[in-house]
Structure 1
Amino acid sequence: MAYYKDLFREWAAHQALRRPSTKQSEPAFYRRLEQALDVHRENGNLAILKPRWDDSVIDFTSSDFLSLSRSGRIRNAFLQELASLGNDWRLSASGSRTQYGNYDYLRQVEAEIAAFHGAETAWVCHSGFFANISVLEAVALPGDAIVWDELSHASTVVGLRVTVAAHKLPFQHNNPDALREVLTRLKTEDPAFARGDRSVLICVESIYSMEGDMCPLREMVAVAKDMFPTGNAQFVIDEAHSNGIIGPNGAGLVQVLGLEKDIAIRVHMCSKALASTGGVILCNKTVRAALTQFSRCLTYSGAPSVPMVASIRAAYQMLGSGQAANEQAQLQANVKYFFQALLEDPDWEEALDEGLLSVPLAEEWEERSVQSHVIPIKVRPGHESSLFVHLLIANINAYPISYPTVPRGTALIRLVFHAHNTRAEIDYLLKTIGAWVVEMLSIERGESSNTVPAAQRQFLALQANGWK
């Protein structure tokens, strides 16, 4: 069976309302949960664990940006790293970092990662999500403030729930002037910030996971230094989508800009471009001591296992030795080809002119020295599902994103480019979306006898026929 049928069937099976069939004799605990889930089932947007697709499906979704997992290169490097350790290692860390789990190999790899990134220390933890929460839990002290870009990742939002910071303020996305306004407000309302008696933690991302745009980090650092010359305003930057992609050997945005000494905390992910697992917090010894003392997320959980650390080391050795340079270059070439072909396609031009969709990152792309591999195709709310179904039936996987993952009143198809994407696949992607554009414009202009796009009609027919 084609992948799209498997996915549609799995999705439909989970959208059926459960509360009407829930027996009153069942515990109220479960009935209340089903009631909460039915709110999402009614709109057809209950999250599901999607079946994994094989390599025959055209991939514009996965986080294997450099294709190190698909190619098997990271697996081979990992096995070689494990073999180099011999047989005298234990599978489990058997304790937290403050107890038995702080073993020599883990500390050695952390020192190597810190050196690669030009940081004083590094802390390997189980995921980047976990790392972001741990930082906000530990580093902001009572009375301090956390200000964050309004489009920050969900891990930052969760971190804000566990922090003891007294002030939590968002600022307009990628806007240094908006950051200045928020910082001015803090200084005005509480003189302790102006004196340097309280600190401000500023949370940004190098490449934003939905918008795909890059942080104007140099400008924001200048604002913070100007507003707080005592140095009590410091940055936490999430480099999830830049790690392995940009900078010297893929070291990230901070190192592209030479701001290693200006950024207090960097969080890097190993589960994306590095095709490994886990996250890394880069900081100095003072911050590391604060993490040890105040982060329950880190010190009340077991330390990473040897295989996990070995996979991370294998990935970083590939970066540091330049073994991923061809993939990094290919990824950049693929994005540039997409932009160039998009702007030359008459169907896309008409769609852009009519406001049916937009591709903000395609604007003035040639002026950027480096391209983001995350490209949102912005559409009107409701159209993201239509375009997703259209793409999936054409054997292209690119997920629809709706509120609350993106701001209310917005929606998009999130294209993620990889080194393994071919020009033929990119051409096919453009052609497939172009066909959807032609059909939608015809429907909107009243030139079609149909009011529902063909792909959605096919979806409904499959559902009525039991997905056969």
Structure 2
Amino acid sequence: MSSAIFSRWMASQKPRAHTIRRAPAFYRNLEEALDVRRKDHGLYTLIKNTWAEGATLDFCSNDSLSFGASGRLRQAFEEELARNPGAQLGAGGSRLMDGNYDYIEAVEQEIAEYHGVEAALIVGSGCDGNYAIFEGIPRPGDAIVFDDLVHASIMDGISRSLASTKVSFAHNDVDAFREALISVWDSQPLIRQAKKCVLIVVESFYSMEGDMSPLKELVQTAKEIFPGGNAQFIIDEAHSMGVVGDRGLGFVHALGLDSEIAIKTHTFSKAFGSIGGVILGSHTVKNALVNFSRSTVFTAAPAFHQVAAIRAGYALMPQTQTTVGRDNIQHLVKRLFTKITAHPIWEEATARNIISIPVSEDWEERDFQTQLVPLWTRERWGHWLTFHLDARKYSAFPVTFPVVPKGNARLRIVIHADHSEEEVDGLVAAICEWAEEMVAIEMGAAGRKVPWAARQVYALAEES
């Protein structure tokens, strides 16, 4: 079944523009653009996952707390619906018109209290939250300094902002960050005089790298260069929400830096297994978003059922079962690192640039781990590893350009709260089995250039 799904994906990578030469230019031009992606097997297609019905084990979804897979969120959601039998499904309009309602205001207040902040604003998604922040918060004359690997929605939001200066710095490089701040200090007199602001934008956990921001060092550096307090941090906690910190409060809380951060965004489509997002900050921040953000003004308010699912997720957050799950994620990530780096093939496979896990190199020095483990490999080989893992009943998907830069292909593993040691050990064995085959192919000892699982998928694609 899974091979058939991947074979259909392979078939979709065949060039198509030449087959519609008599079609209107509108369609020909689109297919020519799509053929550029197809050339490198980079065309995205809508395929079904293989784990939802039990064909494979889920090591790819963002359901890291297993709220979705376990059924816990659905049960809590249904209980919340039962407590509100007369609720209207749609909001009816924008929050600024007739779409505001008592229930969403009550849940926002509960969320603010849970996180220990003044105010919370629920939005349709994490992306919507990032758009809203950068449309509404930066003022003319402000500067934005951001890590160059922040999420695409942050990049898009920054492009819409009123900030006069926008400076990126090399990923997680504190020295490069310092240089970026100094360049802003030197070039912007109003910022130097503390009349305008520097907004510093980073993520807590970077999902495609599997690493975390050196936030303590960044905060200290910003204080040194801007002692007037006009350097403020905006943190995207999409992937740390629920996974670390007391009661799952996230990365900032785990580091004890809540008082240093002006704005945090949390996303409910990751660990919560739901949908939506929330922006946390002061009453001033919330008022600015409501007044200045087009993404807030010109859209309908989140509907009752979405807000109910968010409330249900928060009800699960402090439960003992959730705490045990968080601890299990930490245990299993460490086990994965230990097992895979101790495997006899690992050193050679890494030396040959067949596969590597950069975040495994210093994991013992970290207080905690992310649940995100990217396996770096060569272009297209991520697809081959995906095929192999699928054949061994493990689901994980490759990440290629344009999500990551060309030449930086990888396959991302996500560890979940309900995974077991045996399941992680089995995944490690399957990865190393593929690495052994690729080493043999590299050495010319396998008698073929394409691994067996990929050959099966390619053969089915030719038949379709």
Please confirm whether the aligned pair reaches a TM-score higher than 0.5, indicating the same fold: yes
Aligned position for 1:66 = 65
* CA RMSD in angstroms, aligned pairs only: 1.6
Aligned position for 1:42 = 39
Q: What residue ranges of structure 2 are gaps of 5+ in the alignment? A: none
Distance 2:65 2:290 in 1: 33
SS at match of 1:372: coil
Cα distance change, pair 346–286 in 1 and its aligned pair in 2 (3 A): same
Deviations 1:326-360 (A, max 9, x none): 21122222212211211221122332344432212
What displacement does 1:32 show? Answer: 1.8
- Aligned match for 1:418, one of 416, 419, 435: 416
Aligned 8 A contact 1:276 1:311 in 2: yes
What is the correspondence of 1:26-175 to structure 2 with a 5 Å cutoff?
26-53=23-50, 54-85=53-84, 87-175=85-173
Aligned 8 A contact 1:110 1:122 in 2: yes
Cα distance change, pair 71–321 in 1 and its aligned pair in 2 (3 A): closer
Aligned 8 A contact 1:443 1:451 in 2: yes
Distance 1:252 1:314 in 2: 18
2:403 pairs with 1:405: yes
What is the correspondence of 1:333-372 to structure 2 with a 5 Å cutoff?
333-372=331-370
Name the amino acid aligned to 2:288.
A
Aligned position for 2:6 = 7
Aligned position for 2:328 = 330
Distance 1:351 1:41 in 2: 29
| Paired-residue identity, % | 43
Aligned position for 1:293 = 291
Aligned 8 A contact 1:4 1:395 in 2: no
Distance 1:326 1:173 in 2: 32
SS at match of 1:15: coil
Distance 2:432 2:21 in 1: 49
Aligned position for 2:443 = 445
Aligned 8 A contact 1:116 1:320 in 2: no
Cα distance change, pair 204–241 in 1 and its aligned pair in 2 (3 A): same
Cα distance change, pair 456–321 in 1 and its aligned pair in 2 (3 A): closer
Aligned 8 A contact 2:11 2:461 in 1: no
Aligned 8 A contact 1:249 1:322 in 2: no
Deviations 1:103-129 (A, max 9, x none): 111011001111111111000010001
Q: What residue ranges of structure 1 are gaps of 5+ in the alignment? A: none
Distance 1:275 1:410 in 2: 28
Report the count of equivalent residues. 462
Name the amino acid aligned to 2:393.
N
Deviations 1:197-216 (A, max 9, x none): 22111110111011111111
What displacement does 1:322 show? Answer: 4.2
What is the correspondence of 1:164-243 to structure 2 with a 5 Å cutoff?
164-243=162-241
Aligned position for 1:253 = 251
Aligned position for 1:380 = 378
Distance 2:443 2:15 in 1: 36
Cα distance change, pair 84–248 in 1 and its aligned pair in 2 (3 A): same
What displacement does 1:23 show? Answer: 4.7
Aligned 8 A contact 1:347 1:434 in 2: yes
Name the amino acid aligned to 1:225.
K
